[in-house]
Structure formats: structure tokens, C-alpha cells
Structure 1
Amino acid sequence: TIAATKFLMAGYPVLFRAPCAAKALWRTYIYNLHGLRALHTSSTKMEPGGKATARGVVFDMDGTLLKPVIDFAEMRRRVGVLPDQGDILDVINRWPEAKRAEAYATIAEIEEQALRDMALMPGALELCEFLDQRGLPRGLITRNVRRSVQYFHDFMGLVPFKPAITRECEFPYKPSPAALQHIAAAWGVETSEVLMVGDSVRDDVVSGNRAGAITVLLDYSGEGPSSVPRRTPESFSGDQRPHHVVGSLNELQELLENCYTLLPPPLPPLGIS
């Protein structure tokens, strides 16, 4: 589209003029360059320098801000939901009350163990402090429970994410865009000015794209000596195609610093208990 073309044309000179055009930034930029697409660009706020506007960031929790410690395949096995049966929570919610309660008790036991094993992703604290210093709100959408989010907030020791939406809140689960749309409204911004960051293409990326947000896939597949090449946005199609793919939260911070104009929202962020 015209908007995407202008972004590319403006982005090249900005990158080459910038003193921070180091190896890590260049790698991040190339992934985004190859994956830039027309989706949502018509409604993205553009500054004269060719940068899109970001006024808030919404995160997934497990596997994004926290290291993945829950074995979801084992959870399915213990609960009794096969992979081909669909979303585990949707399946459980269709069960009779007694069976449903037993399944959620098993999930709670697994999640309780995950609290004891909780560990932050590298760069999580630094990224949150970076956003706080610039007045950008941090939101959270997780399939986990309120108790886990409260523990996570205490564990981080920073200002809590607001709003922090759990599976106990009255919103359909991701990939529904409803929770993300609610957060944008609470901040008083357009969804096109919000980044949705997560490690799940099926849930986080699809949810963000359906809401009209800027989607960022956190992908660790390209890390390590025996790793496969990291995926790029063009590795995906349709609602599963993110605007950006980053290999770490540090790369996400570089992306925000160099490719976006960061503006605080007009309204103070609201919380959800």
C-alpha cells in the first residue's frame, strides 16, 4: 500500500543515519522490513519522520514476560483433553459442573507449581522500566488466574500492569480481540496505536490483528547453537502474520526506540481486578 511504501522509504535513511544501526538493530530491522504488510497501516498514526505512533503495549504473560515453565501437553494429558479436541479451556467449560471443577483443580495445581518455578524472561524488567520512563502504559492479557498475576506483580517489584486481564475476567479468551479492544478504550487510544506482544501466533498475534493492533511475535526458535533459522513475518499468512518478529525483549525495546514515536495516552490507565 501507499502507507507501507512511504514507511519503507522513510525507514531506510533513518536507519542509515542512526548511530545505533548496530548488528542487533539491523537484524531486527531486516525481519520487520521483509514482513511489513498492509494490514492496519491505513489506520496507523504516522509522524513526519515516517515512524508509526505507539501509545501503549499489551503483553501476554507466560512465555513472553515469564519463562515457560508449564508443560501444556502434560496439562492436557492430566485433564483429559486431546490436542485435536480444540482449546483446552473451551472444552472444559462445556463439561458438566463436577467434571469441570475437577479439571480446574488439576490446572490450579499445575499453575501453583509454576508460581514456585517463576522466572522472568531476560530483558523483561528493563523493557518495563523503559516504558514507564516514557509514560507508556503496560497492559496484560493472560489465560492464567488473578492469583498468578498478583504473584507476578510482586515478583517483578514494579508498578503493576493495568489493565491486567485474566481468564476470570468477563472477556472471551484470546484469540478474541475483545480484551485488547477494552484495554485500548481504557487508555483512550486507538487499537492501531497499541502493540500486542506474545509468543503465540494462534492466540496473541491473531487477537492483535483482529483488534487492529500492531502485532509482535516473540520467537526464540532462532536462538542457540542448534537452532533452526528464526521465522519472519512472511513465514505466516492471514491473521497469523505479525507485523514484527523479535527474538528477545531486548530486541523489542530496540524496535520501539528506533521504529516508533512513543507518546503517552491522553487518559490515565485503568485497572481491572
Structure 2
Amino acid sequence: MPSSLLFKSILFFQAKPHSFPLPHITAMSTKTKTRLRGVVFDMDGTLTVPVIDFASMYKAVLGETEYRRIRQENPSGIDILHHIESWSPDEQRKANEIILDFERRGLERLQIMPGAAELCGFLDSKKIRRGLITRNVKQAVDLYHQRFDIMFSPALSREFRPYKPDPAPLLHICSTWDVQPNEVMMVGDSLKDDVACGKRAGAFTCLLDEKGKYDSADFAKVDLEPDFKVASLAEVQSLLETNFDLMP
């Protein structure tokens, strides 16, 4: 199905108010297992150990005062890429140079997330498709593939527009795989980017929250809830086996 038609066929997720914290692993209540044919991963902080100091990067781009103001208005986090789109071309150029500098320094310390290789091996054993969507640059994706010898296809980087939290990249992957979004799970560590992207596309979502960040009161009023929440990638295999019929 062409991605444009697939996009039109999906009803956007209407988030319902909830209160964090979620249980350690939040599972579906249904007794009938749903077919799952593919898993799409975020990269930074999900497939890789977090190394980029995003707060410092945002402050460098926005300035301390503006950073604090925007942070207070957006408890789920700052979408710096969308924020700078309204700036003048010269301001955008300078902002992108700062962002790229932080990302390049992050590449020097790139580490695979514990449990990522094992989870990918499990998905391969079940012939479940694996995709990747990141707001980082293609260079980072290529380095991940080369350094850890784990491939994702499609692997969409920031060069694919529009990027998360828009559902377009996830819908594009579903179209490429010739599967429906409700047969796919989006796994990531960002509520505002990964969970929002998955929900808007009509996919299942799994929030990776290693340190209990989303249990804090800051997120109590965020009207967006993942289908599942885990503290490590090691928990995802059990989650998938318990709740889904894994069929390619």
C-alpha cells in the first residue's frame, strides 16, 4: 500500500489523561494475543547508551533564560528541531552547527545499550522485522550498523522528513514492510517523540525508562500514555512473548 494511502487510513491517536507512574512492565489486559510482525526502535537512549547531554545542548542553542522558559512550558521535553524551524536561515544554521557538534562528540563515545543485541537476536529467531527511526543524522546510524554489526531496515535518520513525533516515518516503514501499523510496536525512551509517533501512527508503543524519569510529578499531567513501560531492553522479550502472537 502506498504510504500516502496508508497514512490516510490511520486515525490519529487521541490521548487520554493518566497519572504516572505506570507499573514496572505495563501489559495489555486482553486475553487474546494480537499479531505482531515488526518492531521499530529509536536509537539514542534506546539502542545506544545515552551520551549526549541534551540539556547542555538546548542551553547552547537557546540560551539559559529561554531554555528555562520553554522547559517550564513543555514538561514532556523540548523539541529543539521543530523549535528552530521558525528561526531565520542564519539562526537555523548556527543552531544546527551546535547540535551537530554535540552529536559528533556523542559518536566518539557510542556504546550499544545492554540487551540490544540479545533482543535483536530474539526477533531474528522469530523472523520479526526490525526498523529504526532516529532524529540523529545518517552518519550516526551508519556507525551503529558498522560498529555493532546489527542492521535495521529501513533505518530512517533526521534526513527523512518529517521526523518524529510526526507519524510519517513509522508509516513509511509499515508501507515498506507491507504491514499494518497495528501489527508493529515502536520502542523508545522518549514520551514526546517515540510514544507520540507510535500512537499517532496507530502502532503499539513501549517506553524505555531506565531511571524512572517518567515516574516524576513533572509528567503527571502529560496526556500521553504508552501501552507498555520497561526499565531495560532485557524486559522487552518477555513482554512480547506474553502479549503478542509473533508472526512474520
Asked if Structure 1 and Structure 2 have the same fold, meaning a TM-score greater than 0.5 normalized by the shorter chain, the answer is yes
Aligned partners of 1:29, 1:71: CA distance in 2, in Å?
28
Report matched runs for 1:86-125 at 5 Å.
Answer: 87-125=79-117
The answer to whether the 8 Å contact 2:37/2:183 transfers is yes
**Amino acid in the other structure paired with 2:134:** T
Output the amino acid matched with 2:51.
V
- C-alpha RMSD of matched pairs (Å): 2.5
Residue 236 of structure 1 and its aligned partner are, at CA, apart by 6.4
2:134 paired with 1:142: yes
User: Does structure 1 residue 166 correspond to structure 2 residue 157?
Assistant: yes
How do residues 33-72 of structure 1 correspond to structure 2 at under 5 angstroms? 33=27, 36=28, 50-72=32-54
Deviations 1:116-144 (A, max 9, x none): 11111110011111111221111111110
Q: 1:210 to 1:237 in 2, by over 3 A?
A: farther
C-alpha separation between the residues in 1 aligned to 2:95 and 2:24? Answer: 44
Cα displacement string for residues 231-258 of structure 1 (whole angstroms, at most 9, x for unaligned residues)? 4xxx868861111111111100111122
Question: What's the TM-score, normalizing by structure 1?
Answer: 0.72
> SS at the partner of 1:240?
coil
Show the counterpart of 1:9: none
- Structure 1 unaligned runs (5+)? 1-27, 42-48, 223-227, 265-273
Contact conserved, 2:37 with 2:247, CA < 8 A, in 1?
yes
Q: Secondary structure at the match of 1:202?
A: helix
One of 36, 49, 56 as aligned partner of 1:74: 56
- Greater RCO (Cα-Cα under 8 Å, separation 6 or more): 2
Contact 2:138–2:157 (CA under 8 A) maintained in structure 1:
yes
Alignment of 1:201 with 2:201, yes or no, is no
Q: Name the stretch that deviates more: 82-91 or 117-126.
A: 82-91
Matching residue of 2:6: none
**Residues 23 and 229, structure 2, Cα contact 8 Å, conserved in 1:** no
Distance 1:100 1:209 in 2: 29
Larger radius of gyration: 1
Q: TM-score, normalised by structure 2?
A: 0.79
Kindly state the Cα deviation for residue 29 of structure 1 after the two structures are TM-superposed. 9.0
* Kept in 1: contact 2:24–2:230 (CA 8 A): no
The answer to whether 1:262 aligns with 2:246 is yes
Which amino acid is the alignment partner of residue 165 of structure 1? Answer: L
Mapped partners of 2:84, 2:23: distance in 1: 42
Question: Are the aligned partners of 2:24 and 2:231 in contact in 1 as well (CA < 8 Å)?
Answer: no
- Tell me if the contact between 1:29 and 1:255 (Cα under 8 Å) persists in the aligned partners: no
Q: 1:249 aligns with which of 215, 233, 242?
A: 233
- Taking structure 1 as reference, are residues 107 and 75 closer, same or farther at Cα in structure 2, changes over 3 Å only? same
Distance 1:237 1:137, change over 3 A: farther
Q: Percent sequence identity over matched residues?
A: 46
Post-superposition offset of 1:216: 0.4
Letter in 2 for 1:167: R
5+ long unaligned stretches in structure 2: 1-21, 71-77
**Cα displacement string for residues 35-58 of structure 1 (whole angstroms, at most 9, x for unaligned residues):** x47xxx8xxxxxxx7211110000
**Which consecutive segments of 4 or more residues in structure 1 shift more than 6 A?**
235-238
> Partners of 2:225 and 2:82 in 1: how far apart?
24
Match of 2:176 among 173, 176, 186: 186
Query: 1:218-238: CA deviations, max 9, x gaps?
Result: 11134xxxxx8x84xxx8688
Alignment-mate amino acid for residue 166 of structure 2 = S
Report if aligned partners of 2:42, 2:187 keep a CA contact under 8 Å in 1: yes
Distance 1:210 1:239 in 2: 13
Please state whether the residue corresponding to 1:206 is helix, strand or coil.
helix
